[in-house]
Amino acid sequence: MSSEMTITRQTLLLAPLAACVTASGAANAPAWLSDFVDIFYRRKDVRTAFERYVAEDYIQHSEGIGQGREAAIAALSPMFARPQFQLDPIRVMHDGSLATVFVRVAVGAEVSALVIDIFRIDQQRIVEHWDIKREIPPAEADAFFANLDSRV
């Protein structure tokens, strides 16, 4: 599949989700999910977040990350430890067995992106993950995120 096709498909997926974010109002996350968001995205403490809230046999659909909780911890910890890697969760949506976290990601001044993490949940444990990423030109990032901004 060409990169143009991938971008088009991701853009098509992002459009209705972005509309839901803008229209959804206050976050509806349960306390445990809010705690996961705080530990994982804000504190960037991958191991604590995953050991507390992610199932050991976690299913991962992101390229380059193996299956299981330990594989995700091993892949994400070095990335999150870099000081220039910044995460800013801007919205959490929760509905039964699914949760979606919209995250503004920056890597220094060169990279800005919207990442949408989608989690399947079973008994307050994250058991499966998908993500969608759209890079935003740094010069356009502030305006783009102003339309989505609703801090959680």
Rounded to whole angstroms, the Cα distance separating 93 from 27 reads 6
Q: Report the DSSP pairing between strands 54-60 and 125-135.
A: parallel
Q: Please determine, for residue 18, whether its predicted confidence score (pLDDT) is greater than 70.
A: no
Residues 3-146, CATH architecture: Roll (3.10)
pLDDT value at residue 138: 80
pLDDT value at residue 26: 36
pLDDT average, residue stretch 72-93 = 93
Express each pLDDT in 111-122 by its tens digit. Answer: 889 999 999 999
Residue 150 per-residue DSSP state: -
pLDDT value at residue 136: 87
The structure's pTM equals 0.77
Question: Residue for token digits 């390229």?
Answer: 63
> How do the domains of the chain map onto residue ranges?
3-146
CB distance 5 to 123 below 8 Å: no
